[in-house]
A and B are shown apart, each in its own frame.
Chain A
Amino acid sequence: MNRPTTVAVTGLTVRHRRTVALDALDLSLTPGVHGLLGPNGAGKTSLIRVLATVAAPSAGRVELLGRDAARPADRTAIRRRLGYLPQEFGYYPGFTVREFVAYVAWLKEVPSERIPAAVERAVERVGLGGRIDARMRSLSGGMVRRAGIAQALVNEPDLLLLDEPTAGLDPEQRVEFRALLREVGERSTVVVSTHLVEDVAAACAEVTLVEAGRLAWRGTTAALTALGTDGEATGSATSPIERGYTSALRAHRERVGAAR
């Protein structure tokens, strides 16, 4: 099956004052669920922010859903088809879940006659249907995060970007959430940034490993697991995919070290 490239990034560089967050990164993604793995500070959030069009790259070309993210008219068109859950986000405490999600639907220019049904569906999908008219301030941390996922889903996005979405979810909710990701990934491109390797193992078909602003490894989840099954058991890493993650990272560091 020939799947269209929905994310095409070439030479992407992001600098924050004097530090380099992303260093000439190339990446292309097709519909499906993609895990974005890497140690803290590897540049995952910087990459997600550029893909969400909220941060401008210092250099490089970013093409999303077939449009150029640097062109204002294209950017607006991309944003209508985008869902984004930032790593940290706030809410208006007096809003109900319904109002919060409907507000974001309005910001995303969902036609107003479609908003009520779209809101209910998005909230239902994250399992908050019973609390749809509860005030945001009355929700627990895990529920707030699920409301955040609902706002990202409300416009049925073609490109869904989730930065650390499982933080604050309990194990059962995490299982349900992974099922939701797989369902959305059947027609949309989903990028999930996480530092939890088991999230990737359960929900993602493909993995992109980022380290110090560079692409360290790319492949299917099965290939990463295979990498760990072949290698020797390393320290505290218990599952094959964790061992695969560690050995892919180590191999990348050796390559970078040898190149210097």
Chain B
Amino acid sequence: MTAAWHVTDALALRYATGAAPEPDAWSVEKHVESCGPCAARVSAAVRTGPAGPALAALRTDLLNSVAPLPPAAREPDAVPAGRGPVAVLGRGARLWWAVGPALRGPWLAAVALVLTAAFALAHGAGVAGARGWLLAVSPLLPVAGVAVSYGRHADPLYEITAATPVGGLRLLLTRTAAVLALCLPVLTAGGALLPPVAGLPGAAAWLLPGLALTLGVLALGSFTGCRAAALTLGGGWLLAVAGPLLGGAGAAALAPYFSGPATQGAWAAAAVVCGGLLALRRRSFDHLEPR
């Protein structure tokens, strides 16, 4: 085999100027059909060689003759490096698809906004209860993330995905996992960096309520659709925390929702119940959700 044979610069130059003997020229032509680097080397030599001006003129003529077409029809949109045909199947790309619409859209901005606002309250405005505010708002973010990830209102591809083997609960759980994987660590770490509030538990105290509410949205969503479920449970949570937060007693009044093993145990139990209900209702995601 001639696998080790490549076109040298000298041979490429001879080929470009037409000085290469015919058998050599044939070898070059055969070889560049299957060897990218040599093809590039020979092309470069030809472009700078005597045929260069003629080729350039031909290219200009060709471009002029297609000029009446709109620019978009002539050249595909610029594709950023790494997103071409190869990357389409890369692990990163598949992960990017799997996370669904939430992490590509305004939801991500909402998470960033909540964190920024909490830090601005604590350090800019000097509000002592900033950590409490973040604790109260945090469970809403995964709930909102699920609402914008799945269903006829959130996913433009919803009806197409519903007819595929991956669609339905599998897709919903994948996207929910992506939402949780982002906001659990980020919001907990953000809370931990804020000054502690007397009478309130640590920054991780929202994890079980957040998980229970998220699973609650999935379970209720099996009956009503995810958006309605998220609005119901998110709205309920908001009403529940609004009283203590705005009641004048300060953020410490949130303690009954978070503090103590009994409260956390109740959230854990609620999460388990919702998870069980979701398992029982798993087949409801096989068809389009109710309007």
A88 to B287, CA, bound (A): 17
Answer whether residue B163 sits at the interface, using C-beta atoms and an 8 A cutoff. Answer: yes
State whether A108 touches B166 (Cβ < 8 A): yes
Contacts A94-B104, A115-B88 given; does A106 touch B94 at CB 8 Å: yes
Contacts A55-B287, A106-B166 given; does A131 touch B157 at CB 8 Å: no
Contacts A79-B164, A92-B156 given; does A72 touch B77 at CB 8 Å: no
State whether B165 touches A108 (Cβ < 8 A): yes
State whether B88 touches A133 (Cβ < 8 A): no
By a CB distance below 8 angstroms, the chain A residues around B163 are 52-54, 79, 82, 84
Q: B78's closest neighbor in chain A, by CB?
A: A133
Interface residues of B in 162-178 (CB under 8 A from A): 162-167, 171
Q: B98's closest neighbor in chain A, by CB?
A: A106
State whether B164 touches A92 (Cβ < 8 A): no
By a CB distance below 8 angstroms, the chain B residues around A92 are 101, 104, 156-157
A240 to B86, CA, bound (A): 51
- Where the two chains meet, the residues of B that have a C-beta atom closer than 8 Å to any C-beta of A are 72-73, 76-77, 79, 83-86, 88-89, 93-94, 97, 101, 104, 155-167, 171, 283, 286-288
A160 to B143, CA, bound (A): 36
State whether A98 touches B85 (Cβ < 8 A): yes
By a CB distance below 8 angstroms, the chain B residues around A79 are 163-165, 167
By a CB distance below 8 angstroms, the chain A residues around B159 are 54, 84, 86, 88-89
Interface flags for A92-113 (1: CB within 8 Å of B; 0: not) read: 1010101100111011110011
- Where the two chains meet, the residues of A that have a C-beta atom closer than 8 Å to any C-beta of B are 49, 52-56, 72, 75-76, 79-80, 82, 84, 86, 88-92, 94, 96, 98-99, 102-104, 106-109, 112-113, 115-116, 119-120, 130-135, 138, 151
By a CB distance below 8 angstroms, the chain A residues around B156 are 89-92
State whether B160 touches A106 (Cβ < 8 A): no
Q: A86's closest neighbor in chain B, by CB?
A: B159
A132 to B84, CA, bound (A): 10
State whether B287 touches A56 (Cβ < 8 A): yes
- Max chain A CB contacts within 10 Å: which of B72, B84, B93, B164? B164
State whether A130 touches B76 (Cβ < 8 A): yes
By a CB distance below 8 angstroms, the chain B residues around A113 are 89
Contacts A92-B157, A131-B76, A133-B76 given; does A72 touch B283 at CB 8 Å: yes
State whether A135 touches B77 (Cβ < 8 A): yes
Q: B164's closest neighbor in chain A, by CB?
A: A107
By a CB distance below 8 angstroms, the chain B residues around A75 are 286
Contacts A79-B164, A92-B104, A116-B88 given; does A134 touch B76 at CB 8 Å: yes
Q: B158's closest neighbor in chain A, by CB?
A: A90
The 6 residue pairs across chains A and B that have the minimum distance between CB atoms: A90-B156, A107-B164, A133-B76, A84-B163, A86-B159, A54-B162
State whether A54 touches B287 (Cβ < 8 A): yes
State whether B286 touches A108 (Cβ < 8 A): no
By a CB distance below 8 angstroms, the chain A residues around B94 are 106, 112
A177 to B158, CA, bound (A): 25
State whether B88 touches A90 (Cβ < 8 A): no
By a CB distance below 8 angstroms, the chain A residues around B164 are 79, 82, 104, 107-109
